[in-house]
Amino acid sequence: MAVKNVTIYDIAEEAGVSPATVSRVLTGSANVRQDKKSRIEELIQKYNFKPSAVARSLTDTRRKLIGIIATDVRNVFYADLYVACEIAADQLGYTVLLLNSFGIREMEKKQLDKLVEQRVDAVIHLGGAADDVVTNQDYADHLNKVTGSIPVITTGKLDGTDCYRVQIDAVRAMDILLEHLVANGNHRIALAGGRYDVVSTRVKYDRFMEKAGEYRLDVRPEYTDNWGSYNIFAGQQTMDRMFENLQKEKLPVPEAVIAINDQTAAGVIRSIENHGYRIPEDISVVSYDNVDIAKVIEPNITSVDYDFDHFGKIIIETAIAAMDGKKIDRQQYIEPTLIIRRSSDYHRE
């Protein structure tokens, strides 16, 4: 434990060269005579010497470290996206430092400070404050203090800050779902789950309303205003409540339900089955994210896919381009794709 770390000086001394020469073979920044080079490399092997990234980044200015603030990696959506970022970063020679905020604003600020102290080269902000329909001013102020020196990339939006947005095209995500459902003869379509103050959710809602006329949808608050959360329990509750309201108003059950994500869809499916309806024959169910549960639930769920690998890659590339001072769009969109599965694979008359 108390063993002193080997340094470049130790190697230099034993090899009978200067520290600079050792540094040169380490970085490959300049030519070194073959015999010296071999000698040095042997010593490096012998002591299993790894140059300190800490000392290195003191001069380098570039730390090769990207910070990520995520709401909670225990949520598959963030886990998938985080891993995609980690892999993309690794391939470009960067390391990623993950910090969770658990949806707590104070925590987000604290984690941001931690990243600044670590002198990360860029900050990636997933969820949390970036999800707010109206950005928290206090957080924006806090962010603006660092945004001058470190580029910030987010998948949501942070109004009043100078950040880069790489986001799912939520409008398109709603469109492909509607096209699919309408093409299958569904016109009484319900929305389930999600919070009204989350920007990606709101965009989808607004788009649904925008398209309702064109597609001749049977729009009523009983079908569309079923807010909730993003998990399986909430999904089930939300759907139970919808059934209750519909019965009260003597309205027919929907022909299709668009759940805000796959977990919610799983809950919705449970509720529908508990109420004695078949999926997709009586009611079709579709949702967003295409995470594992969509492939696992019975029936398998039709879901909108974002290609996380690609998503993460774009995020990391944007971060690196931004720190390199390259000109890049402040706003980029991820194209969603529809994966059709049994839960909606049914044509209604």
Partner DNA sequence: TTGAAAGCGCTAACAT
Partner DNA sequence: ATGTTAGCGCTTTCAA
Q: Residue numbers of the site for DNA (CB under 7 A)?
A: 4-5, 7-9, 16-21, 23-24, 26-27, 29-33, 36-37, 51-52, 55-56, 58-60
What's at 177, amino acid-wise?
A: L
Q: What are phi and psi of 148, to 5 degrees?
A: -70, -30
What's at 326, amino acid-wise?
A: K
Spatial distance between the Cα atoms of 18 and 178, rounded to a whole number of angstroms: 68
β pairing state of 337-339 and 302-305: antiparallel
In the chain, the largest separation of any two C-alpha atoms, in whole Å, equals: 91
Number of residues that bind its own copies (CB under 8 A): 49
- In DSSP notation, 160-224 reads TS--EEEEE-HHHHHHHHHHHHHHTT--SEEEE---TTBHHHHHHHHHHHHHHTTTT----HHHH
Q: Is 138 in the site for its own copies (CB under 8 A)?
A: no
Q: Min. distance of Cβ 55 from DNA in angstroms?
A: 3
Q: Which is nearer to DNA, 24 or 125 (CB)?
A: 24
Q: Which of 8, 99, 163, 170 binds its own copies (CB under 8 A)?
A: 99
Q: Min. distance of Cβ 8 from DNA in angstroms?
A: 3
Q: Which is nearer to its own copies, 33 or 330 (CB)?
A: 330
Spatial distance between the Cα atoms of 147 and 161, rounded to a whole number of angstroms: 8
Q: Which of 7, 10, 23, 76 binds its own copies (CB under 8 A)?
A: 76
Q: Which is nearer to DNA, 30 or 92 (CB)?
A: 30
Q: CA of 117: how far to CAs of 120, 146, 150, in Å?
A: 8, 11, 12
Give the contacts of 196 (CB within 8 A, at least 6 positions apart). 133, 202, 205, 227
Q: Per this entry, what is the length of the chain? A: 349
331 binds, among its own copies, DNA, none (CB under 5 to 8 A by kind): none
Q: Which is nearer to DNA, 57 or 245 (CB)?
A: 57
Q: Min. distance of Cβ 278 from its own copies in angstroms?
A: 16
31 binds, among DNA, its own copies, none (CB under 5 to 8 A by kind): DNA
20 binds, among DNA, its own copies, none (CB under 5 to 8 A by kind): DNA
348 close to 318: Cβ distance less than 8 angstroms: no
Spatial distance between the Cα atoms of 269 and 276, rounded to a whole number of angstroms: 11
Q: Which of 8, 24, 71, 86 binds its own copies (CB under 8 A)?
A: 86
Q: Is 294 in the site for its own copies (CB under 8 A)?
A: no
Q: Is 92 in the site for its own copies (CB under 8 A)?
A: no
Q: Is 137 in the site for its own copies (CB under 8 A)?
A: no
3-state DSSP assignment of residue 51: coil
Q: Is 55 in the site for its own copies (CB under 8 A)?
A: yes
3-state DSSP assignment of residue 265: helix
Q: Which residues bind its own copies (CB under 8 A)?
A: 1-3, 5, 48, 50-55, 57-58, 63, 72-74, 76, 79-80, 82-83, 86, 95, 97-100, 113-114, 116-119, 145-146, 148-151, 232-233, 266, 270, 296, 298, 322-323, 325
